[in-house]
Amino acid sequence: MQVIRAARYRRMPWKNGGGETVEIAVAPAGATLAAFDWRVSMARVDSDRPFSLFPGIDRTLVILEGDGLRLSIDGRTPVTLTPDSEPCSFPGDAAVTADRIGRAVTDLNVMTRRGQFQHRIRRVRIDGSLELAISAPTALLLCHAGGVRIEAPPDAIQLQPLETLRVDERCGSLRIASAGPAVVFLIEIRALHIG
């Protein structure tokens, strides 16, 4: 298990220079925007603008804060995303324009290299405790709202909002507890074995 505190996230400009992104984790470690296998990041969208293009990449977007975005993906009928929406997946090489619905938005963005890796993201609401199964070789648990405690004998790991725990499938499951309502996102990443 590896705790990634928010102070350790790497800040950088968007690939197209249109905003700022906060990189939570990337593989391989230190990979550039042109050479990663997978990447998990957050971005603030404070004006209407096109997204960066990522050829050969599959993306999934979730709204963490703000009123929402209206995404126009490759000229299709716009999709409206709010903090209550299900994750929205689309090709990184598609032309995407984001229009804010209201105030500035912070989104969670998961990207994997198409044909080599795949990802899944789930919102999990906690009020008390639960056991969360980990079935992928790599998983990241992002605490979104409320604080959570992960039982990891001999100690417990505390996660505050926007802090992340990285684990692998050897842990099997995570026992997570909260003192009140909390929300986490479980991001699971696995390599595809071709041939």
Residue extents of the structural domains in the chain: 2-115, 118-191
Please state the pTM of the whole predicted model: 0.91
**Where in 46-172 does DSSP place strands (E)?**
49-50, 57-65, 69-73, 79-81, 88-91, 96-100, 105-113, 117-126, 129-133, 138-145, 148-152, 155-159, 164-168
Q: Quick one: pLDDT at residue 188?
A: 96
Class of CATH domain 2-115? mainly beta
Q: Quick one: pLDDT at residue 49?
A: 80
Q: Quick one: pLDDT at residue 12?
A: 80
CA–CA dist 12, 23 (Å, integer):
8
**What spatial distance separates the first Cα and last Cα of the chain, rounded to whole Å?**
31
Phi-psi category of 162—alpha, beta or left, where left has phi over 0 and alpha has psi -120 to 50?
left
Does this chain's domain 2-115 share its CATH topology with 118-191?
A: yes
- Residue 14 phi/psi, 5-degree rounding, is -55, 155
* Per-run averaged pLDDT (10 residues), the chain, 195 residues: 89 71 93 93 86 93 94 90 95 92 92 96 94 92 94 84 90 89 96 74
Class of CATH domain 118-191? mainly beta
Q: Quick one: pLDDT at residue 126?
A: 95
Q: Quick one: pLDDT at residue 145?
A: 93
